[in-house]
Structure 1
Amino acid sequence: ASKITSFSELAIMNNVDNLGEVRSETLNGVGVVRITFQPGTNITDAFAQVTSVSQTILRMMPAGTNPPLIVPYVPSSVPIIQLVLASDTLTDGALYDFARLQLRAHIQSIPGIRLTLPYGGASRQVMIDLKPEALQAYGISASDIAKATATQNLTLPSGTLRVDTRDITITTNASPEAVTNFAELPLRSVDGRVIRVSDVASVRDGQAVQTNIARLDGQNAVIVQILKLGNASTLDIVNQIKASLPELQASAPKGVRIASVFDQSAFVERAIANVMTEAVVVGLLVAFVVLVFLGSWRSSLIVLTSIPLALLASILGLALTGNTFNLMTLGGLMLAIGILVDNALVEIENINRNLELGLGLKEAILKSASEVAFAEFVSTVSICIVFSPLFLL
């Protein structure tokens, strides 16, 4: 495996542009290559280059090498919901296959998501358990059985048949229709007798070697993580997934329970509620302070009005730039409320000071704005600079 990993790493380093760092790790039968690109690289083009190189070198790999799974990673691609399939009646393998085939096909059409492979369980396999004594007696090796099952488990096109004005495609299907049919596959003929797989091995419906396990309330279970891609809305995705669960549950085998054990939308909804609560509490407190110390209900009304108007303008800006509500944008809104209130208080107090000096309303507003605008601008920009590294994530 290490040679395959090294070959892949060298091919990528020699043929892919704008590389920042290439790291590889070789495990038992698995090679992982992590690629980091230079800032400003077009990830779509880079992904296409990596895919092209990986597929090109596949034909140079040893026989039996699986095609690479190429997955782009960005910090915004995080799990937003975890679905668990649990059952007391189905095996881990049956749950795994249902999650990998039916569940993925059911919700994969939801835009902006990517599903990981199920965790827990193992994929279904037809297991052929060899009998060493019988193999030796008939002079048959394990490779003979592997070759027989490979060559007699095929579906091949065989041409077309013209009937009147129609062309009918003909296929030769040699795939066994049931697991038990594998036992009837012929291996060779000895003294006029056909030696079959059942003579030297037992065939059963099994599963691959299980390397991880998941349980829900003591039941067999598999876990599927659903990741959000790019700027997709967490709330929209989770709501669509939850809306599809009743239909998915109805199509599931009897005894299968589908549940959500992690839901990031709950954090987003809580953050939205916190922003709204903070806006209301801050608005009322500031209006009360202005009313007490300045004695002006009009100034209090201005403060109360400025907060929702600013929030609406921010939400409109998010919509126009293609962004959605998430923990980052909501955190920014919560921070902006405090800055907004500070600037509003300074502006209102300065306007009242100029009014007390005898200036007219319009003149007092313009003079007050010119006196504090630069200071407020600099203070706001300073805060923005502090948080600017977040754009590099």
Structure 2
Amino acid sequence: MWIVRLALTRPYTFIVLALLLPLIGAVVLLGTPMRKGMPTDIFPDIGIPVIAVTFQYAGLAPDEMSGRITSNIERFVTTIVNDVEHVESQTYPGVAVIKIFFQPGVDINLAMSQVTAYAQSNLRQMPPGTTPPLILKYSASSVPIVQLAMASQKHTESQLFDFGNQIIRAQVGTIAGAAVPYPFGGAARQVQIDLKPDLLRAHGVTPTDIGTALSNQNLMVPAGTQKIGATEYAVKLNASPTKLDDLNDLPIRSDRGGVTTLRDVAYVHDGHPPQVNVVRVDGRRAVLMSIQKTGSASTLSIIETIKERLPFISELLPEGASIAVTGDQSVFVKAAVSGVATEGLIAAALTALMILLFLGSWRSTLIITISIPLSVISSIILLNLLGETINLMTLGGLALAVGIL
């Protein structure tokens, strides 16, 4: 072969390359202060041409969700988005999930941008109160990699949910490659207005009147600017209550009999929607945060960064609240990768031993012993250039290649 002839004619060049390969391989695997090492994971990043779009409208019946939200999205997605193979949907009370399947070889990032642009622009045509859609791109490697549990004996479940949503999500979400969904468990805070039917009839007020009053008066409106001396101030009309009890004094209607306030026909209080999941840590109610990996980021580097940031996050939490790691996928990743790498080394050692026993040549054994690690290092460098990761598939392939060599 030409490469063999080239090696025989230029031996010193290949000797230098052989000495440089371990150094380059170490830089690729471990990284440098200016560059991260090669990502390590269990499985490779397998792109699945599927996008899921989720709409929510609290309290809307499934048939209404299907007729007013699901069917509209299904109809327009097939005509606006490119390379759609088929669309599947599931409708639940207050939730619509639309799964869009694309043709093989589609540019999933372009499809994601098209779906996002359409879903956001179509939000105005949906029933008032529909939440902005949650749009997810499927990936075999986008799975929970670490779980953080927060518990407290001094705080309510609503407060724990707020701590997880506003503190932990904000801190962990800035880590490259980490995605933090909403907390699991706890109870989302909700200002609830309990209507009193008898008092509504007595004052001649309907629930629609209360909704209209809340929409018209619980708001802030810009009123222009006012220049005083050399300073120009922004002026606004602020009718938004600063305390929960102030909502009770919100006027609903006025007539000759006086002013009817919200306190006269309803009861305003701090509450939460019906709780559908419960998390317990050591017998105490808690909140669970499942951190997911996105894209081709390294699982090990994400988990290490999260653990480094945990002491700082603990200082931000109020007194009495504690946070702990309850699930850590890095333990399994390290064990799996280490096991495959160990088996590969054993296979290389046995290969060299078999050559020595059957051929009885130290020279051939030495050549094989040197060529196997150099070939593996060259493969790892090439995999890194192609954007691959160190995972069970790549290490297993390298271990099989050792036997062929």
Shared fold (TM-score, shorter chain, > 0.5): yes
Deviation sequence 1:210-251 (CA, Å, 0-9, x none): 222222222212222222222111111111111111111111
Aligned match of 2:374 in 309, 313, 320?
Answer: 309
Quote how far apart the aligned CAs of 1:11 are: 1.0
Structure with the higher fraction of residues in strand conformation: 2
- In the alignment, the residues of structure 1 paired with residue 343 and residue 366 of structure 2 have an alpha-carbon distance, to the nearest angstrom, of 17
1:77 is aligned to 2:168: no
Q: What residue number does 1:2 align with?
A: 66
Structure with the higher fraction of residues in helix conformation: 1
* Contact 2:347–2:402 (Cα < 8 Å) also in 1: no
Quote how far apart the aligned CAs of 1:192 are: 5.3
Aligned match of 1:39 in 85, 104, 110?
Answer: 104
* Contact 1:5–1:33 (Cα < 8 Å) also in 2: yes
1:335 is aligned to 2:397: yes
- In the alignment, the residues of structure 2 paired with residue 243 and residue 26 of structure 1 have an alpha-carbon distance, to the nearest angstrom, of 41
Report the TM-score when normalising by structure 2: 0.78
SS of the aligned residue for 2:382 comes to: helix
Note the 1:29-178 alignment, pairs <5 A.
29-178=94-243
Aligned match of 2:283 in 218, 221, 229?
Answer: 218
* Contact 2:85–2:102 (Cα < 8 Å) also in 1: yes
Q: What residue number does 1:383 align with?
A: none
- In the alignment, the residues of structure 2 paired with residue 76 and residue 106 of structure 1 have an alpha-carbon distance, to the nearest angstrom, of 22
Q: State which structure, 1 or 2, has the greater radius of gyration over its C-alpha atoms.
A: 1
Q: What residue number does 1:200 align with?
A: 265
Q: CA RMSD in A?
A: 2.1
Aligned match of 1:254 in 319, 323, 345?
Answer: 319
* Contact 1:85–1:257 (Cα < 8 Å) also in 2: yes
Q: Which runs of 5+ in 2 are unaligned?
A: 1-64
Quote how far apart the aligned CAs of 1:9 are: 0.6
Instruction: Quote the sequence identity (%).
Output: 43
In the alignment, residue 162 of structure 1 is paired with which amino acid? K
Quote how far apart the aligned CAs of 1:19 are: 0.3
- In the alignment, the residues of structure 1 paired with residue 90 and residue 266 of structure 2 have an alpha-carbon distance, to the nearest angstrom, of 38
Q: What residue number does 1:364 align with?
A: none
In the alignment, residue 336 of structure 1 is paired with which amino acid? L
1:289 is aligned to 2:345: no
Q: Which runs of 5+ in 1 are unaligned?
A: 344-393
Note the 1:351-390 alignment, pairs <5 A.
none
Aligned match of 1:23 in 70, 88, 98?
Answer: 88
- In the alignment, the residues of structure 2 paired with residue 187 and residue 322 of structure 1 have an alpha-carbon distance, to the nearest angstrom, of 62
Equivalent pairs counted in the alignment come to 340
In the alignment, residue 114 of structure 1 is paired with which amino acid? A
SS of the aligned residue for 2:289 comes to: strand
In the alignment, residue 66 of structure 2 is paired with which amino acid? S
* Contact 1:311–1:333 (Cα < 8 Å) also in 2: no
Between the two structures, name the one with larger relative contact order (CA 8 Å, sep ≥ 6).
2
Report the TM-score when normalising by structure 1: 0.80
Deviation sequence 1:302-342 (CA, Å, 0-9, x none): 333333323322221232222333xxx33322332233233
* Contact 1:121–1:221 (Cα < 8 Å) also in 2: yes
